[in-house]
């Protein structure tokens, strides 16, 4: 199995950086099993092509503007995933959607994708998450661990 957990977002725009903060927490608290790579992608695009090629499973953690209450968790899987990128719900979805489209053209797209997100409270200039969203980080971390465990790739706590 080749699996990537990808945290995306801009850490200088408050809750926009939640995906990256989840990755930081995962790197701090867990050891990943072989085959699972955890990546802080920030807002990058084509640089991710190599790491995202020929994956069995891609798990993306991101801020999602889905018209929900701030702090509400959102999960997208299966057919909902392409819609997520087409509609560009993510504040920085352009780079990632280009990578996925390129992967499709190369025939190297992920076999399965799940997006774990949270509706942001603030996208103002700040290097800190708002308290509402910061409080959700442990739940998002637990969801990532859960998704991996279900696929027989349980991370171990440090």
The 93-132 contact track toward other proteins, x by CB under 8 A, reads -xx--x-xxx-xxxx---------------x-xxx-----
Examine residue 86 and tell whether it contacts other proteins (CB under 8 A): yes
Verify binding: residue 11, other proteins, rule CB under 8 A. yes
Q: Please identify which residue in 4, 18, 36, 48 interacts with other proteins, judged by CB under 8 A.
A: 48
Query: How many other CB atoms sit within 10 Å of the CB of residue 27?
Result: 16
Q: How many residues bind other proteins (CB under 8 A)?
A: 39
Contact 153, 1 (CB under 8 A): yes
| 16 touches other proteins by CB under 8 A | yes
Kindly report the number of other CB atoms within 10 A of residue 46's CB atom: 10
- CB-based contacts of 122: which residues, under 8 Å, 6+ apart? 14, 15, 130
Residue in 31, 46, 135, 142 binding other proteins, rule: CB under 8 A = 46
Query: What is Dmax (Cα atoms) for the chain?
Result: 41
DSSP character at residue 56: S
Contact residues toward other proteins (CB under 8 A) are 10-13, 16, 40-50, 65-67, 86-89, 91-92, 94-95, 98, 100-102, 104-107, 123, 125-127
């Amino acid at each position: 199995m080749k699996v990537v957990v990808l945290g995306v977002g801009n850490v200088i725009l408050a809750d926009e950086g939640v995906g990256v903060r989840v990755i930081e927490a995962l790197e701090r608290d867990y050891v990943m099993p072989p085959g699972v790579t955890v990546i802080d992608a920030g807002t990058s695009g084509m640089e991710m092509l190599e790491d995202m090629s020929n994956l069995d499973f891609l798990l993306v953690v991101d801020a999602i503007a889905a018209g929900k209450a701030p702090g509400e968790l959102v999960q997208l899987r299966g057919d909902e995933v392409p819609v997520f990128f087409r509609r560009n719900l993510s504040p920085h979805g352009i780079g990632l959607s280009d990578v996925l489209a390129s992967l499709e053209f190369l025939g190297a797209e992920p076999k399965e994708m799940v997006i774990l997100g949270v509706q942001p409270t603030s996208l103002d200039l700040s290097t800190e998450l708002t308290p509402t969203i910061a409080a959700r980080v442990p739940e998002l971390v637990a969801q990532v661990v859960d998704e991996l465990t279900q696929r027989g790739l349980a991370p171990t706590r440090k």
